[in-house]
Structure 1
């Protein structure tokens, strides 16, 4: 049965704010439940028969055209107008290139911290390439590219090659690594460096820009062994 001691998101957010991402992708049944919360200020917890009251501010985001979704019948019109009180339209990344340096700085720091690497940022040429690229996938694509580059960069600075943005501005980035999870890209890159250095862990750690302890941990984590192809 339902865990009576566990509160739902709207109950936890009572008196505060809740952020609903990708609101345009929620199912019809969930749309009906959200409408009840917004319209009546109440919800029905799982396993209960008595509604509970809640008072929350809702901020929702989507990359879909909800007006079109309403016209097509995939999004409830009544829910749309309940949400569409104050609408903020964020321009695509290609129209606000002045934001890219700050975003890149944040993404590099975050990815380097997770990967245990010392990466200081992008070279001027790499940053210029980012500002010329149209970013059809917007901020999420930029974050994906930066995370991959942090892993693949041979030193403390990410150059244009590490970004994987092919050709002139407007061409698509190399999609091959992005078709795989980030951990696989990191695992394969570590393995290539180890093999190129004859499994000399000190030399490999220097090339990767990480400490020996971090390298040993990642070797164990990914089950890497000389002459063995990882699954």
Structure 2
């Protein structure tokens, strides 16, 4: 059953750079990605149901980073709906950075669960967006290193169990699931993966539009 957004509802988007999308440089604090597109489309369709939209995404953040700021940035706002997209920075490519960050699927699940439990207790509605990785071609830049297709194949092996975790948690908490990885796989088969995310991770304008359209199908 779709989530019902009522007049006066507060919707919180949070996660990593895909959600952040330069929000601190934007006039309304929503950034320039899918949260802005969602807010704009909702306002166009439902002028009689104004909603407060907030974005607390931060570039580079992992589950543990969200957990460290969860009370201040999310719980204290008492949102009615919380939309979360996190996991790509918990993927294996961070093992290549100087800090050598690695997190198992089990640790990822435990940390993500600690984010969701207090929201469920407070009665917030939840939308969980799968992390995703598109099979772009050639060499792309990922943080301080250049990554080829061989490395991205290893990322996929690390990410797939974490996508399964997000699906499992959506079932556990009765959350709406935006199956973004499968969605982009299908879209990439038609227009090519680079059309949706040039580096395989960060959506293009078309990719953000696809996320926004899929998100809006989950609410009524």
Tell me if both proteins adopt one fold, taking TM over 0.5 as the criterion: no
The answer to which structure has the higher strand fraction is 2
TM range (shorter): under 0.3
Could you tell me the TM-score, scaled by structure 2's length?
0.26
Could you say which structure has the larger radius of gyration? 1
